[in-house]
Amino acid sequence: MTLQTGPIKSIPGPDSNTRTPAFKLPPLSCDTHCHIFGPGDVYPYDPKRSYTPPDAPLPAFKALHAKLGVERAVIVNASVHGTDNRVALDAIAQSNGRYRAVANIDGTIDEKGIEELHEGGFRGCRFNFVRHLGGVPDMKVFDRIVAMVTPFGWHIDLHFDAIDLPQYADMLSRLPVPYTIDHMGRVQANEGLDQLPFRTLIDLMERDEKCWVKICGAERVSTAGPPFHDAVPFARKILETAPDRVIWGTDWPHPNVKVMPNDGDLVDLIPLFAPEPELQHKVLVENPARLFDFNDA
């Protein structure tokens, strides 16, 4: 992460009036991309963070999922907490096996540290390539961490700006582990299905069985705004390409978005992405159970 030299910007919190979605999620549905922020007096924010969120702690996280009908979750430890993964570790410990997590780690971690995270319920680690979150990581560290997590069966979670995805496609296809690409590659809906970043994403899914994609972040993909229906063709194409390697998430509490979504609206996009009940079950239950080692689905 790039050292913060100026004032750290504050960002707004999520919509506090989450509506109950019309779509009823199937039992054991998993939100595979969501965050817990703070509380800052218990889990301090990293002084090198690029933004400061309002606290979005575990009780609010649980209340959101109860309203939506989500029974399982994967906590992606956000950059605001740096490499301190305690907020996710503690949440998993209280979840009765319903939570997993994706870690933020750096070159200081050793095999024992990864083993402790694995025992605590972590099943992957995340690398940000997005410019406003620090840009390209140290690739020597990246390669070393990939080698370290491979024996644990972890995947690598990757966050790109769409414009940068084509230049990393060959590197991704050479990874020795499965990898997930966040937010449909952050493509922009008004650029169409034939834009180079999206064609790159689809090509990766077609030729590399290690490539998974998260159909989350519709509010980031959309250029038309709520209810974000212009993101639907992108999610649908992703699902048609590799239905066994697609997962869904809310991205709650939606850091750094231009338009704050209502999470009820995001759930109600699911039957537009996937009208077929068997495909809904695959994306919401079966696929995340396989990738994140929920062993009773």
Catalytic residue among 31, 208, 251, 265: 251
Yes or no: say if 55 and 40 are a contact pair by the CB < 8 Å rule.
yes
Is residue 263 among the annotated active site residues? Answer: no
Task: Measure the CA–CA gap between 169 and 194, rounded to whole angstroms.
Answer: 17
Exposure string for 2-17, b = 16+ CB within 10 A, e = fewer? eeeeeeeeebebbbee
Residues forming the active site: 251
